[in-house]
Amino acid sequence: MSEYRVKQRRRPDLVTLIAIYHLLVAALWLLGVLAVGFGLVVALLEATGTDAIIAPLVLGLVMLVFLAFCAVNVATSLGLFALKNWARWLALVLGILALPKLPIGTVVGAIEIWYLLTPEAQEAFGAE
C-alpha cells in the first residue's frame, strides 16, 4: 500500500508576526468596544429627553463598527496562521488602511504591504 503525504507549507516568520499584529489590533478594537459600551450604559442611565434616544443609538452604531473591525482583524489573523490566500489579500487591504495612521501605522502598513507582495509570501500562500 502506498502512503500519501500532504506537503505542508512552512509559514514564514514574518507572516506569523503579521498575524500576531492583527490579533493585537483586534484586542485594541475590543477594548474600544468595551469603552464605548461603558459610555452606552452611562448614556442610558443619565440621558433624558431626545438625548435618551440619540446618544444610545450613536454609541450602539459605534460599537457595531468597532466590533466589525475587531472581527475582520481576528479573521485576518486566523487566515494568516492557516496560510489562506484570502487572508493575505485582506491583510493587504488592512495594511493600506493603516498607512494614514502616522507614524506606527504607516511603518507597519508599509512593511505588511511590501512583504505580502514578495515572491516568498506569494509562494507560502500558494498564490500565483
Contact 95, 116 (CB under 8 A): yes
pLDDT score of 88 more than 70: yes
pLDDT tens for residues 10-20? 888 999 999 99
Q: What is the pLDDT of residue 7?
A: 58
Domain ranges of the chain: 13-124
Q: What is the pLDDT of residue 92?
A: 95
pTM, to two decimals: 0.83
pLDDT score of 69 more than 60: yes
Per-residue pLDDT band at 38 (split at 50, 70, 90): very high
CA-angle at 7, arms to 90 and 86, nearest 5°? 10
